[in-house]
Amino acid sequence: MAHEHDTQAVERVYRPSPGLAVAVDDPVQNPGLPPHRERVTDKDPQANRRAVRTVYTLFYVSVAASIWAVAAYMLFPIEGEYATMGNIRNNNLFIGLGIAFALLAIGIGAIHWSKSLMSDKEHVEARHSTRGSEPTRAAVIQAFATANEESGFGRRKMIRNSLFAALVASVIPGITLFRNLAPNDGNDPVQLLNETMWAKGERLVLDPEGTPVKAADVTIGSAFHIIPESLAGLSHDEGYLEEKAKAIVLLVRLLPEQLKETEERKTWSYDGIVAYSKVCTHVGCPVALYEQQTHHLLCPCHQSQFDVTEHAKVVFGPAARPLPQLPITVDAEGYLVAKDGFSEPVGPSFWERH
């Protein structure tokens, strides 16, 4: 009876598979080339003729497009009375299209030619091994040794070392030139980054006109873009842009009770009017998207938000510090003036400001 047989016969003979379904000696076997398949153009003479026609038509299209590009240059003048935006656009567009089609047609034609008409028989070119043969290697080593001996490179230490010195020295002028790209007009760059044109008594004037602003002009809900008065008089050569980049200020007015001011900064605002640097403390974009109802300032670059009611503290985003506040007051004539310069450097962190 079956159950009287050896019940563990299976366990005795069974050998589990090591995990591979197929034993492979060489894991990367050469599959060889697939059989050559004839193309339509090989079998059908009509298709062949059509392909030939397509290719030469493309090349002639290219010729025509090149001629068209030259014609477009003359047909769409952009000088004198024709110098309008629309004409410049047409001129660029049609010359560009001509050149683009000229080059594209050559490319498409060439590829179509090679794909449909040139022989497409594939063959294998075996790769030779990269290691040179023993004699070659010996010869190269020999060549180096001879060269060393004949030139005296290893022997004449003076010459060799002076050559090294010359090579190192040749880089130095480059370093000097690049070093000079840093601000170097006798001023310490740290100093330049620390200071703006704002100083005690400097009037707040409108950007770019230079009109001074009276406290009464700044109505609730308005936003004034402000520069220091002495900046408005600078010319481009006198560093107008460099100074402006640091000195731009936004002036807004809130109800005095909306401002949550700290004790020591109570005197920095004037009757609800506050002035903050417009240079973002993240990487220095101009922060000027002022929402007059939420009193938030938004930086367009990386969405830092500053709360104007609380000394421009950061309420969102990557900026690390509040925007620096410019202390302001009014002068005898009622114009807004700075009480002092900024008490801290404006703008992003730099190597001596974190």
Partner 1 sequence: MAREKKRRSHGRRSPLAAAALIGIGLVLSGGIYAGASAAVAATSEPTAADTALTAEDGQKLFQANCATCHGLDLQGTDDGPSLYGVGALAVEFQVSTGRMPLQMQGPQAEQKPVQFTEEQILAMADYVQSVAPGPDLPSDHILDGEGDLARGAELFRINCAMCHNVAAAGGALTQGKWAPDIQDTSALHIYAAMVTGPQNMPVFNNMNLTPEDKRDIISALLYQQEEQAPGGFNIGSLGPVAEGFFVWIFGIGGLVAITVWITAKSN
Smallest gap from Cβ 75 to ligand FES, in A, equals 47
Q: CA torsion 35→41→44→48, rounded to 10°? A: -160
Phi, psi of 204 (to 5 degrees): -85, 120
The answer to whether the beta carbons of residues 314 and 279 sit under 8 Å apart is no
Looking at beta carbons only, is 209 or 257 nearer to partner 1? 209
Structure-block tokens of residue 71: 């014609």
Examine residue 206 and tell whether it contacts partner 1 (CB under 8 A): yes
The answer to whether the beta carbons of residues 330 and 314 sit under 8 Å apart is no
- The H-or-E segment that residue 330 falls in is strand 328-330
Examine residue 342 and tell whether it contacts partner 1 (CB under 8 A): no
Give the residues lining the site for ligand FES (CB under 6 A). Answer: 280, 282-285, 299, 301-302, 304, 317-319
Looking at beta carbons only, is 102 or 213 nearer to partner 1? 213
The answer to whether the beta carbons of residues 204 and 213 sit under 8 Å apart is yes
Looking at beta carbons only, is 59 or 94 nearer to partner 1? 94
Examine residue 85 and tell whether it contacts partner 1 (CB under 8 A): yes
Nearest to 270 by CA among 284, 285, 259, 283: 259
CA 246 to chain centre: 23
Query: Among residues 33, 36, 40, 242, which is the contact residue for partner 1, using CB under 8 A?
Result: 40
Smallest gap from Cβ 91 to partner 1, in A, equals 10
Looking at beta carbons only, is 259 or 319 nearer to ligand FES? 319
Counting residues that bind partner 1 (by CB under 8 A) gives: 43
Query: Among residues 77, 132, 221, 256, which is the contact residue for partner 1, using CB under 8 A?
Result: 221
Select the binding partner of residue 207 from partner 1, ligand FES, none (C-beta < 5 to 8 A, by kind): partner 1
Structure-block tokens of residue 344: 């801290």
The angle at the Cα of 80, spanning 77 to 83, to the nearest 5 degrees, equals: 60
Examine residue 353 and tell whether it contacts partner 1 (CB under 8 A): no
Nearest to 100 by CA among 72, 76, 75: 72
CA 286 to chain centre: 19
Strand partners, 124: none
Tell me which stretch binds partner 1 (CB under 8 A): 179-187, 261-269, 300-308, 335-343: 300-308
Phi, psi of 79 (to 5 degrees): -110, 160
Looking at beta carbons only, is 37 or 128 nearer to partner 1? 37
Examine residue 281 and tell whether it contacts partner 1 (CB under 8 A): no
Smallest gap from Cβ 282 to ligand FES, in A, equals 3
Examine residue 296 and tell whether it contacts partner 1 (CB under 8 A): yes
β pairing state of 273-277 and 289-291: unpaired
- Within 145-204, the residues that bind partner 1 by CB under 8 A are none
d(CA 49, CA 12): 72
Examine residue 265 and tell whether it contacts partner 1 (CB under 8 A): no
The answer to whether the beta carbons of residues 312 and 306 sit under 8 Å apart is yes
Examine residue 75 and tell whether it contacts partner 1 (CB under 8 A): no
Smallest gap from Cβ 250 to partner 1, in A, equals 10
Smallest gap from Cβ 280 to ligand FES, in A, equals 3
Smallest gap from Cβ 85 to partner 1, in A, equals 4
**Measuring CA to CA, how many Å separate 40 from each of 115, 117, 354?**
11, 10, 71
Residues that bind partner 1 (CB under 8 A): 37, 39-41, 85-86, 88-89, 92-93, 111, 115-116, 120, 206-208, 213-214, 217-225, 252, 286, 288-294, 296, 298, 300, 303, 305, 316
